[in-house]
């Protein structure tokens, strides 16, 4: 049996762009982890990341440096189309891998990554997927509420994630500045693959029930510089019979996640306002671990259910190691203790099967069944 890893665990960042900067501090603040190398095609970004973490951290532009002998764990934060090549190289070099979502730009590439990860697992290498929403304690509360029957039977779930980043990106690309998010080949789609994988994963995980059928529409309304869709609306059916609606866009703004059951409803709006309404009674969960105090109070809004609660729920920063659900810390602990990663690569491949079916449905206008 493989032994727990020797400490300190030595990590390399492959890609030090937008998202990587949000959780670099985890690798600075855990005293049993060292970030030894920061790699980015843009040397200034690699240097900036290295400086934030420590003076001994190397900054380089060569991806092979992420697999140097003194690296145990490679954290891959590069554009989607690079995930397969970089993950396979890291696993072949005997490194543990934490990979950004989505697993890859295509289902075939994602399956190749999952196969390589399964083989590497036999050699004691841990690989996992980073899904930032699992950092949010509220998501874990929602799962506990589903399990405890607080919602009754789940009839419907809803997710809207819309931001206007696509409009600016489209203008930049038309002005001659290339960006991987505007490329169908490099991203694997448009806003849907980038934004919806979070909710596909969360909803199936909360209910322990996979998606079995989808119907969707997707189009590019206002972002001519982007090859993929800038808006997509999908309906999912889960094995347990629940339906979900996912509305994703890069051309307007708004955020909401809701769960509707026969006995209770939760609506989480704008990433901060939580409204709960149930005939089962109040719910008090790990929400109380938030740095911002949760203020539960009765509201006078009309409703048929007995108990209504409203609360401000602010998600912890992605670099906060004190958050009990910090996904980077949890992955590093899994490597340290030789346990499976909190989120498997294989589960991310399942998400991409749903994304693939959504794009098929949007293109042929028919419902698409997902093979079990
Ligand atoms: N909520 C989330 O979890 C979340 C949010 C944003 C992005 N992401 C994912 O993270 C990944 C990166 O997204 P981002 O927003 O940080 O993109 P980004 O464009 O801001 O950063 C990507 C970085 O990778 C670097 N890079 C490109 N090719 C490279 C190579 N061959 N070797 C080394 N570095 C290279 C770029 O120079 C850039 O600094 C994507 O897979 C994206 O889907 C996840």
Predicted confidence (pLDDT) per residue in 265-278, tens digit: 999 999 988 888 88
Does ligand 1 have an atom closer than 6 angstroms to the CB of 39?
yes
Q: State whether CATH 3.40.50.620 applies to domain 9-132+326-343.
A: no
Q: In what order do the strands lie in the sheet with 73-76?
A: 58-60, 33-39, 9-14, 73-76, 96-100, 127-130
Where exactly are the structural domains of the chain? 9-132+326-343, 134-317+352-364
How does DSSP assign 269-287, residue by residue?
ETTTEEEEEESS-----GG
Which residue carries 């380089």 as its tokens? 60
Residues in the chain: 372
Segment 214-241 shows an average pLDDT of: 98
pLDDT(353) > 80: yes
Q: How far apart are the first and last CA of the chain?
A: 32
SS3 content of the chain, % helix, strand, coil (to 5): 40, 25, 40
Report the helix count and the strand count for the chain, using DSSP H and E.
Answer: 10, 15
Q: Give yes or no on whether 9-132+326-343 and 134-317+352-364 have one common fold.
A: no
Residue 36 banded pLDDT, cuts 50, 70, 90: very high
Taking Cα atoms as reference points, which of 240, 279, 317, 359 lies closest to residue 23?
317
Q: What contacts 289, CB < 8 A, 6 or more positions away?
A: 137, 323, 324
| Range from 172-181, 272-281, 339-348 carrying the lowest mean pLDDT | 272-281
Cβ atoms of residues 259 and 279 within 8 Å: no
Residue nearest to atom 1 of ligand 1 (CA): 132
Please give the pLDDT value at position 291.
36
Q: Kindly state the tokens that stand for 281.
A: 């009674």
Alpha helices in the chain (DSSP H): 20-29, 43-53, 83-92, 107-122, 137-148, 165-174, 184-187, 191-207, 327-337, 345-364
Å from CA of 254 to ligand 1 middle? 23
> Which residues lie across from 275 on neighbouring strands?
267, 310
Which residue carries 């169908």 as its tokens? 184
When the candidates are 1.25.40.10, 3.30.70.3340, 1.10.3720.10, 3.30.360.10, the CATH number that belongs to 134-317+352-364 is 3.30.360.10
Å from CA of 284 to ligand 1 middle? 37
Please give the pLDDT value at position 286.
59
Does ligand 1 have an atom closer than 6 angstroms to the CB of 79?
yes
Instruction: Choose which residue among 12, 14, 17, 61 to substitute to test ligand 1 binding: the one with the highest number of ligand atoms within 8 A of its C-beta.
Output: 17
> Is pLDDT larger for residue 164 or for residue 303?
164
Give the Cα-Cα-Cα angle 110, 111, 117 (nearest 5 degrees).
Answer: 90
Atom of ligand 1 nearest to the CA of 63: 32
Going by their DSSP bridges, the two strands 273-278 and 264-269 should be labelled as antiparallel
Residue 371 banded pLDDT, cuts 50, 70, 90: confident
> Is pLDDT larger for residue 54 or for residue 218?
218
pLDDT(289) > 60: no
> Which residues lie across from 256 on neighbouring strands?
160, 269
What's the predicted TM-score (pTM) here? 0.94
């Amino acid at each position: 049996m493989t032994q727990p890893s020797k400490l300190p665990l030595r990590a390399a960042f492959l890609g030090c762009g937008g998202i990587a900067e949000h959780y670099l501090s985890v690798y600075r603040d855990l005293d049993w982890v060292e970030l030894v190398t920061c790699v980015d095609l843009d040397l200034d970004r690699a240097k900036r990341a290295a400086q934030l973490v420590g003076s001994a951290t190397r900054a380089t532009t060569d991806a092979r440096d992420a697999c140097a002998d003194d690296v145990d764990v490679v954290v891959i934060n590069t554009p989607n189309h690079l995930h397969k090549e970089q993950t396979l190289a890291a696993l072949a070099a005997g490194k543990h891998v934490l990979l950004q979502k989505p697993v890859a730009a295509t289902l075939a590439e994602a399956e190749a990554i999952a196969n390589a990860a399964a083989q590497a697992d036999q050699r004691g290498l841990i690989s996992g997927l980073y899904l930032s929403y699992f950092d949010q304690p509220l998501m874990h509360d929602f799962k506990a509420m589903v399990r405890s029957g607080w919602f009754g039977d789940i009839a419907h779930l809803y997710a809207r994630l819309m931001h206007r980043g696509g409009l600016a990106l489209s203008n930049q690309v038309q002005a001659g500045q290339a960006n991987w998010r505007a490329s169908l080949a490099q991203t694997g789609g448009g806003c849907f693959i980038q934004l919806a994988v979070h909710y596909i994963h969360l909803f199936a995980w909360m209910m322990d029930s996979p998606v079995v059928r989808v119907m969707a529409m997707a189009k590019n309304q206002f972002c001519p510089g982007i090859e993929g869709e800038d808006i997509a609306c999908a309906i999912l059916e889960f094995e347990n019979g629940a339906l979900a609606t996912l509305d994703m866009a890069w051309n307007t703004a708004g955020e909401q996640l809701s769960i509707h059951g026969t006995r209770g409803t939760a609506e989480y709006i704008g990433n901060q306002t939580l409204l709960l309404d149930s005939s089962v009674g109040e719910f008090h969960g790990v929400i109380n671990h938030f740095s911002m105090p949760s203020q539960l109070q009765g509201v006078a809004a009309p409703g048929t259910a007995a108990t209504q609660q409203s609360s401000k729920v602010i998600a912890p920063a992605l670099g906060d190691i004190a958050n009990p659900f910090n996904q980077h810390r949890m992955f590093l602990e899994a490597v340290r203790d030789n346990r499976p990663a909190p989120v498997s690569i294989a589960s991310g491949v399942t998400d991409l099967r749903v994304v693939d079916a959504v794009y098929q449905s949007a293109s042929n206008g028919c419902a698409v069944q997902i093979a079990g």
